[in-house]
Amino acid sequence: MTELPSIAFTKIAIPSRGVAILTIATKGGLGTSGQALDDACGGMIRRAMKVADFDGKAKATLDIIAPEGLGLDRVCLIGIGEAGDRSEADWRNYGGVASAFVKPGKNVSVLLENVGDDSISGADAAGFADGMCLKLYKFDRYKTRSSADGEDNGDKSKKPAKVTISLSEHLDARRLHKSQNAVTEGVIVARDLVNEPANVLGPVEFAERARALKKLGVHVEILTEKEMTKLKMGALLGVGQGSSRPTRLAVMTWNGGKPREKPLAFIGKGVVFDTGGISIKPASGMEDMKGDMGGAAAVTGLMHALATRKAKVNVIGAIGLVENMPDGNAQRPGDIVTSMSGQTIEIVNTDAEGRLVLADLLWYVQDRFKPKFMINLATLTGAIMVALGGHHAGLFSNDDDLAANLAAAGLKADEPVWRMPLGKDYDKMIDSRFADMKNTGGRMAGAITAAQFLQRYVNDVPWAHLDVAGTAMGSKKTDINSSWASGFGVRLLNQLVAEFYE
């Protein structure tokens, strides 16, 4: 995988070697240090801006080869638009755009200079660095030779770039970057997990990745099939009975808040590969089902982020890790299983397996930990992709305050959610002739009936379900992500915790 650049923050300085990146506001000019660099270039920067009609429009770029003898290889300009219009997400995106000029082994100087009343804060710079690192992430662990685009994926010898960001508020930027970088690391943890092939990352191996968080001070408990059988987790265990790889349940605990304060609980679906079971999926595109553990990956990445930045809150992260395979021991359509709650479920489609995993997880967490709230994440339904595409995650909740907080956090973190309905009328669609419920209500309102199913396992605990099927894997390319796996949910939930619960 890509080694991310080392990043340092210093007071305003004129770039003197490697690649220089200057941010230019609309009608903002170059600033004192930028003007000094232009003078050293013999006015080349302003001439290039004029010839290219570069006016600092947001995300516009201009790449200039530096004159000989200056010490610089290139001078690169990035537009940051009008003053006052820039959000936290915008600064991440500007950093992502700037990453195009950051190459392994190179020295890169970024000049974030105030022009007039156009103030650039430490938080802006930290966000810029965050976006640069997120965009530079690549999952190329298994590539051994050059790709068709000419990039030498087999050469792992080059050292990471060294990036120095200079601005007036450099001390504040340095402090804030430390916290934000913890979240970036969490996103990368989640991306790595989703990108890994299923032959490498089975339930046991995923559990060991979770156990590695112990080095950050997270308490990690791994439950085996024997222990889950004693707990009568028939819904979760039924999903994995067709696989030769044993099912696992990982419970991660971070105690950063007050003693005896109720924890926040985050729960993830971790189906490491989903064939659909006996109700087998079509062959086309099935390879993407290695990412059906995007919810569990996000919870693991979140726990990494919270522990690394020493979040002042108590948190439980629980992930159900299972493989859904169609061998002679697999559960069949028509089988009836008994969940940990005692409720019975008729299996009418073995490809509606994620809700079975979550049913026992939700019941276990609310019963054992008595949390302040529970939020589960799951790549649960294709129906949510039909409704929302890859632009929003689906949000279902039994609590208006929790739903509002999630929506606000999603906007700020640029991981938006869209609230979908719940209601008793949808319950009728999962009524069963033979059991308390069936595990799917069919194609109509498929994302909603899945949420109605989950709601039966939360009792009166405030709860939200995030269906991330369209956002966690096969994700759209953005200014801060070129990877198949996005790590969706880590920034969203960290923002939720930081803004409303610490």
Say if residues 216 and 188 touch (Cβ distance below 8 Å): no
**What's the longest Cα–Cα distance across the chain?**
83
Question: HSE of 34 in the Cβ direction (CA atoms, 13 Å)?
Answer: 23
355 carries an active-site annotation: yes
Say if residues 498 and 490 touch (Cβ distance below 8 Å): no
Neighbours of 73 (CB within 10 A): 17
The token pair at 255 is: 């105690």
CB-based contacts of 280, cutoff 8 Å, min separation 6: 326, 351
Q: Render 346-392 in DSSP notation, one character per residue.
A: E-S-TT--HHHHHHHHHHHHHHHH--SEEEEEE---HHHHHHHTTT-
Say if residues 418 and 392 touch (Cβ distance below 8 Å): yes
Determine the angle formed by the axes of helices 294-308 and 203-211, rounding to 10 degrees. 10
Give the bridge partners for 108, in sequence order: 19, 163
- Least Cα distance to 102 among 21, 34, 178 occurs for 21
Phi and psi angles of residue 299, each rounded to the nearest 5 degrees, phi first:
-65, -40
Q: How far apart are CA 206 and CA 249, in angstroms?
A: 10
281 carries an active-site annotation: yes
Q: How far apart are CA 231 and CA 236, in angstroms?
A: 11
Q: Which long-range contacts (CB under 8 A, 24 or more apart) does 418-421 make?
A: 418/388, 418/392, 418/393, 418/394, 419/395, 420/384, 420/387, 420/394, 420/395, 420/396, 420/447, 420/448, 420/451, 421/396, 421/448
CB-based contacts of 67, cutoff 8 Å, min separation 6: 41, 42, 44
Annotated catalytic residue within 269, 355, 456, 491: 355
CB-based contacts of 141, cutoff 8 Å, min separation 6: 1
Helices (H) and strands (E) in the chain, counts: 15, 17
Annotated catalytic residue within 59, 162, 211, 281: 281
Active site residues: 281, 355
